[in-house]
Amino acid sequence: MKSSLIILSFFATGLLLGIFRLLPETLFNEEISFYVLCCLMFTVGFSIGQQGNFVRQFRRLNPRIVFLPLFTIAGTWLGALAVGFFIDGFSLFDSLAASSGFGYYSLSSILITRYKGVELGTIALLSNIVREIFTLLFAPLMVKYFGKLSPISSGGATTMDTTFPVIVQSAGKDLALVSIYHGFIMDFSVPFLVTFWCSL
């Protein structure tokens, strides 16, 4: 709970500073965010590497972990179908296409805008951003109430980059390779699945 509150307070502070433009414009540069992420990835990688036994830990994991991305996809689609029944103006295929970004908002929103128009592309962008922010803010609570794999599944395609540090901090370093594997598979699936649902 304490970790979630700290993360939430930093997010809220950054949001307010951004809204009221209380920081220099140079801090809004996307390149700075990228370098900060690189620093986080470096420190997490260094910390894991120092343990020296992370490969052994990965081998000891249940082989069914391989199917985690499939469960993430299935759960996401079930949620999209449930919500899709209550949305007017969009088909269930549209809901499935928007949800198939799995947090990879930059690519999925571009693809959906190209095939389905700006409105659905914007919905996909926002829903995938919310997915990423939700994971960043509530990963510690998800681990506490739903288990160590829950923030990995929630993070979708972001678990090997933006949400990776908070997942490792919350779920433990022994799941770092699982998080990277999950993110890689989800990342790879996005263009194929989004294009598939958009074509129907």
Read out DSSP for 110-177?
Answer: HHHHHHH-HHHHHHHHHHHHHHHHHHHHHHHHHHHHH-TTHHHHHHGGGTTTTTHHHHHHHH-GGGHH
Is 170 within a domain? yes
pLDDT at 34: 65
Is 175 within a domain? yes
pLDDT at 4: 58
Is 20 within a domain? no
What is the block-wise mean pLDDT of the chain (200 residues), using blocks of 10 residues? 65 80 69 68 67 64 85 96 91 95 86 90 89 91 94 94 90 87 88 93
pLDDT at 141: 92
5: tokens are: 């509150």
Domain that holds residue 133: 33-198
Decide if 138 contacts 166 (C-beta within 8 A): no
Which are the contacts of 86, defined by CB distance < 8 A and separation ≥ 6? none
Is 163 within a domain? yes
Q: What's the pTM?
A: 0.77
Q: What is the mean pLDDT of the chain?
A: 84
Q: Number of folded domains in the chain?
A: 1
Which are the contacts of 122, defined by CB distance < 8 A and separation ≥ 6? 109, 113
For residues 154 and 73, what is the distance between their CA atoms, to the nearest angstrom? 10
For residues 129 and 127, what is the distance between their CA atoms, to the nearest angstrom? 6
Decide if 126 contacts 110 (C-beta within 8 A): no
Q: What is the pLDDT of residues 54-85, one digit of tens each?
A: 666 666 667 788 899 999 999 999 999 999 99
For residues 190 and 100, what is the distance between their CA atoms, to the nearest angstrom? 6
Is 25 within a domain? no
Is 26 within a domain? no
